[in-house]
Amino acid sequence: MRRRAFLGLGSNLGERLTYLRTAIASIPDLVNVSSLYETDPVGGPEQGAFLNCVVELDTDLTARELLELCRSLEQAAERVRIERWGPRTLDVDVVYIDGEAVDEPDLIVPHRRWRERAFVMIPLGELAPDLLDGWTDPDQGEVRSVGTL
């Protein structure tokens, strides 16, 4: 069964734009890509700004398969997990899947903090304004539009 799904992508190490473009080019069932935003990191250690975007898929992949896709994209970008919420070449999260809720130790859909993150909700709102119902932008620093991919 095909349905709408959204992935959030971010990068704050190295060639940020290249990491994002390469990952997006490898995503199957891609329908749309939000604008690109530069954001201050939320939580974690002192680190550089992120480039963030959200992509929309029309897919029959399961939530688990989407998580595997996210992990493979991060691996291709040589992401190293040293410190929780630390700097990273690529971070890819399953944000939302129409009609699906998952609550497992390593996978929660919708993403646990999706509605708390302006760097997710603002680009998501470009692609799916229906998902913004009732959302208020928390003060998490500036989310600066920097164009398109």
pLDDT by residue (tens digit) across 8-61?
Answer: 999 999 999 999 999 999 999 999 999 999 988 876 667 788 899 999 999 999
Digit-coded pLDDT (tens) for 75-90: 998 777 666 666 788 9
Burial class (CB in 10 A: 0-12, 13-18, 19+), 8: buried
Its domain, for residue 72, covers 3-147
Given a cut of 60, whether residue 138 has pLDDT beyond it is no
- Two structure tokens written together for 83: 């410190």
Q: Which residues contact 107 (CB under 8 A, 6 or more apart)?
A: 63, 64, 67, 94
Catalytic residue annotation = 79, 88, 91, 93
Total domains, the chain: 1
pTM beyond 0.85: yes
3 state SS of 135: coil
Higher-pLDDT residue of 138, 42 = 42
Give the residues across from 128 on adjacent strands: none
3 state SS of 55: strand
Give the number of residues written for the chain: 149
Q: What CATH number does the domain containing 67 carry? A: 3.30.70.560
